[in-house]
Structure 1
Amino acid sequence: MPSAAPSAAAPAPGTPSTPPAAASSGPVVALDIGGTKIAGALVDAGGRILARSRRDTPAREDAETVFAAVAEVLDALAASPHWDAAEAVGIGSAGPVDAARGTVSPVNVPGWRAFPLVERVRRRAGGRPVTLVGDGVAMTAAEHWLGAARGRANALCLVVSTGVGGGLVLDGRLHPGPTGNAGHIGHLSVDLDGDPCACGGRGCVERIAAGPHIARRALDQGWRPGPDGDTSAAAVAEAARAGHPVAVAAFERAARALAAGIAATAHLVEVDIAVVGGGVAGAGEVLFAPLRRGLADYATLSFARGLTVVPAATGTDAGLLGAAAAARAAAAGS
Structure 2
Amino acid sequence: MTTVDLRPLDASEAGHSGVTLAVDIGGTKIAGALVDATGRLLVSARRPTPRGTGGDEVMAAVEEVLTELSGAPEWASVRRCGIGSAGPVDASRGEVSPVNIAAWRGFPVLERTRAALARLGAPVPAVLVGDGVAMTAAEHWLGAARGHRNALCMVVSTGVGGGLVLDGRLHPGPTGNAGHIGHISVELDGEPCPCGSRGCVEIIASGTSIARHAGFADAAATAEAARAGDPKALAAFDRAGKALAAGIAATATLVEIDLCVIGGGVAAAGDLLFAPLRRHLETYAALSFVRHLEITPAALGTDAGLVGAAAAAGQLLDV
TM range (shorter): over 0.9
Q: Where does residue 117 of structure 2 map in the other structure?
A: 125
Distance 2:74 2:211 in 1: 41
1:99 correspondence with 2:91: yes
2:289 is paired with a residue whose SS is helix
Residue 101 of structure 2, aligned match among 99, 109, 119: 109
Q: Where does residue 39 of structure 1 map in the other structure?
A: 31
1:88 is paired with a residue whose SS is strand
Superposition deviation, residue 101 in structure 1: 0.3
Superposition deviation, residue 332 in structure 1: 4.3
Q: Where does residue 267 of structure 1 map in the other structure?
A: 253
1:169 is paired with a residue whose SS is strand
Q: Where does residue 132 of structure 2 map in the other structure?
A: 136
Distance 1:72 1:163 in 2: 24
Distance 1:139 1:161 in 2: 12
1:68-115 CA-to-partner distances (Å, cap 9, x unmatched) read: 100110111111111111111000000110000000111111111111
Distance 1:308 1:112 in 2: 36
In 2, are the aligned partners of 1:143 and 1:150 still within 8 Å (CA)? yes
Superposition deviation, residue 326 in structure 1: 0.4
1:1-38 CA-to-partner distances (Å, cap 9, x unmatched) read: xxxxxxxxxxxxxxx74442642121100000001000
Distance 2:200 2:295 in 1: 20
2:53 is paired with a residue whose SS is coil
Seen in structure 2, the aligned counterparts of structure 1 residues 18 and 143 have a Cα distance that, compared at 3 Å, is farther
Residue 166 of structure 1, aligned match among 162, 172, 193: 162
Superposition deviation, residue 292 in structure 1: 0.5
Distance 1:90 1:59 in 2: 24
Distance 2:26 2:85 in 1: 6
Q: Where does residue 176 of structure 1 map in the other structure?
A: 172
In 1, are the aligned partners of 2:94 and 2:111 still within 8 Å (CA)? yes
Q: How does 1:129-278 map to 2 (within 5 A)?
A: 129-219=125-215, 231-278=217-264
Amino acid in structure 1 at the alignment position of 2:297:
P
In 1, are the aligned partners of 2:6 and 2:315 still within 8 Å (CA)? no
In 1, are the aligned partners of 2:160 and 2:202 still within 8 Å (CA)? yes
Superposition deviation, residue 59 in structure 1: 3.2
Distance 1:61 1:85 in 2: 34
Superposition deviation, residue 331 in structure 1: 2.1
Q: Where does residue 73 of structure 2 map in the other structure?
A: 81
1:52 correspondence with 2:41: no
Q: Over aligned residue pairs, what C-alpha RMSD do you find?
A: 1.2
Residue 20 of structure 1, aligned match among 5, 9, 24: 9
Distance 1:18 1:235 in 2: 40
Distance 1:59 1:159 in 2: 21
Distance 2:102 2:8 in 1: 32
Unaligned runs of 5+ in 1: 1-15, 220-224, 226-230
In 2, are the aligned partners of 1:19 and 1:328 still within 8 Å (CA)? no
1:232-253 CA-to-partner distances (Å, cap 9, x unmatched) read: 1111111112222111111000
Distance 1:52 1:75 in 2: 11
Unaligned runs of 5+ in 2: none
1:288-309 CA-to-partner distances (Å, cap 9, x unmatched) read: 0011011111011111000000
Distance 2:286 2:126 in 1: 41
1:190 is paired with a residue whose SS is coil
Distance 2:220 2:28 in 1: 15
1:301 is paired with a residue whose SS is coil
In 1, are the aligned partners of 2:20 and 2:78 still within 8 Å (CA)? yes
Distance 2:7 2:250 in 1: 24
Bigger mean CA deviation after superposition, 233-242 or 28-37: 233-242
Q: Where does residue 310 of structure 1 map in the other structure?
A: 296
So what's the TM-score if we normalise by structure 2?
Answer: 0.94
Distance 2:209 2:280 in 1: 19
Distance 2:113 2:222 in 1: 38
Distance 1:292 1:57 in 2: 33
So what's the TM-score if we normalise by structure 1?
Answer: 0.90
Superposition deviation, residue 318 in structure 1: 0.6
Distance 2:221 2:142 in 1: 30
Q: Which runs of 4+ in 1 moved over 3 A?
A: 16-19
Distance 1:242 1:76 in 2: 41
